[in-house]
Structure 1
Amino acid sequence: MLAWSIAAAQFAPQNGSLAENIVHHLRFIRAAAKLECKVLIFPELSLTGLTGESGLPSPPGIDQLQPLTDAARQHQITIVAGLPVEENGQRSKGVAIFSPDTAKPYTCAQGNGTCLTPESRYISVFNLNNDGCDLSPQASLLATLTSTAESQQSLNTQRLQWFARKHAIAVLKSNYSCDNFSGGSALWDETGQLIVRADQGELLVTGRKSAQGWQGDIIPLR
């Protein structure tokens, strides 16, 4: 089996400061690259920070995201970050997917998670709908970007563990570590077994898949 190293960033955003958040993202990307990770995910709205009473900010332009596009290519790592997207005049939570092989990120609504596989560059966004589950049979990992408060952690954990077990797919979750957010970034294997889970702090939750299964670690950001 092809070995595969992945990571989830658990960090505190700079609300409303795209430039500062991009710099912060780059710190995590460099740390993940040193660990030879091929996938790195961030929490939802990671590029703009958590929203306030005014709602979602304007989506950033593609040119503003160029540092992350360059980093994905330089380090040969797929990056999934959170940002607002706009469609038909309506803003919603979305994802920007930076691939080593593309000149600009792919952006779309966040959905229920991003599906990835180590054997190819296949990436898609997964949604639950009225017809059921559109999870791709090619997917090896569901990466979910959350901003889950401490009071919601237990329910969120149960849901993701159930999903991993039901669909026989590993699940990687990235969450914030600030204010009321108690961390909880984690990785579950294809049976729903918890491999690694973080508490408070800015860090990387890492997972490595080999013929022996998944191994996890927690790497503090220095």
Structure 2
Amino acid sequence: MTAPCVAAAQTVAARGDIAANVARHVALARRAAAEGARLVLFPELSLTGYEPTLAAELALSPGDARLAPLRDVASRERISVVAGAPLANADGKPLIAALTFTPQGGLHVYTKQYLHPGEETAFAPGTGGAALDVDGRRVALAVCAEIAHARHAAAAAEDGARLYAASVLVSVNGYAADAALLQGYAAMHRMPVLMANHGGMTGGWESAGRSALWDERGELVVAAAGGGECLLVARCDDVGWRGRVVK
């Protein structure tokens, strides 16, 4: 089974600095495309950092001009760019969104359905969203706490997803348990799992980094050694999945 080359961008967010974070996203998307990736996945709330107390003032609309460089790089480099942001919500508190800028110049919006305990003080639950189409392969998105709900991954598999792409903030203390969940979903559903985690402190959390990809047997293909900024690139050919970490 072959699959499009994919990448996970492990970033260290500049707190509340959307312009600086967009610039790093563009640079990493370009590097991912140069490595042959057709999809690059960023962590949860990657464009602002995980900052619930700032979410209301930082909330973006899909048409925000500050997102234009992401649209441009996706179109120019022919790569789907999945970035995390607080999304303005006319009904109240912002949503936690994964915004996918497509090679065709479009924007796909996914909103986090299952919030982590305590997040309801700053965010409203979202409604999810359809799977992405990456070179004819269905890619299901997940945002952080959603991976703790087995029915979320099961629904993705039942919908025909060929990759489960999770944008997360996983702490040092929580990494072992969350990685075991993702590895288990990969093996149970015969569905590779890609995880993009933060590489540094954000919102008072010490993120573990260690972004990773597990293949459809649940075997670890590639993972970052720890924190810091890096890019994981993985591809699947007739032999199977292989990957590497790009600093």
TM-score above 0.5: yes
Note if contact 2:80-2:102 (Cα within 8 Å) is conserved in structure 1.
yes
Pairing of 1:12-27 with structure 2 (within 5 A): 12-27=12-27
Note if contact 1:149-1:181 (Cα within 8 Å) is conserved in structure 2.
yes
Partner residue in 1 for 2:240 = 213
Name the Cα RMSD after superposition.
Answer: 2.5
Of 142, 152, 159, the match for 2:181: 159
Partner residue in 2 for 1:80 = 82
SS in 1 for 2:169: coil
Note if contact 2:230-2:245 (Cα within 8 Å) is conserved in structure 1.
yes
How far the C-alpha of 1:139 sits from its partner, in A, is 1.4
Pairing of 1:166-181 with structure 2 (within 5 A): 166-179=188-201, 180-181=206-207
CA distance in 1, matches of 2:113, 2:188: 19
2:204 equivalent to 1:204 = no
The amino acid that maps onto 2:190 is A
Note if contact 2:101-2:108 (Cα within 8 Å) is conserved in structure 1.
yes
CA distance in 2, matches of 1:149, 1:137: 30
Hey, which bits of structure 1, 4+ residues long, moved more than 3 A? 52-58, 111-119, 121-133
- % identical equivalent positions: 30
CA distance in 2, matches of 1:47, 1:211: 36
Pairing of 1:106-121 with structure 2 (within 5 A): 106-111=108-113, 115-116=131-132, 118-120=134-136
- Unaligned segments of structure 1, at least 5 residues: none
TM-score normalised by length of structure 1: 0.88
1:183-203 per-residue CA deviation (whole Å, 9 max, x = no partner) reads 110000011111111122211
More off after superposition, 205-214 vs 49-58: 49-58
2:113 equivalent to 1:97 = no
Note if contact 2:140-2:165 (Cα within 8 Å) is conserved in structure 1.
no
1:11-36 per-residue CA deviation (whole Å, 9 max, x = no partner) reads 10111111111001111011111101
CA distance in 2, matches of 1:65, 1:196: 30
CA distance in 2, matches of 1:125, 1:211: 25
TM-score normalised by length of structure 2: 0.80
Q: 1:102 to 1:54 in 2, by over 3 A?
A: closer
Q: 1:56 to 1:159 in 2, by over 3 A?
A: farther
| Higher relative strand content | 1
| Higher relative helix content | 2
Partner residue in 2 for 1:51 = 51
Partner residue in 2 for 1:32 = 32
The size of the alignment, in residue pairs, is: 219
The amino acid that maps onto 1:46 is S
CA distance in 2, matches of 1:131, 1:60: 26
How far the C-alpha of 1:181 sits from its partner, in A, is 1.5
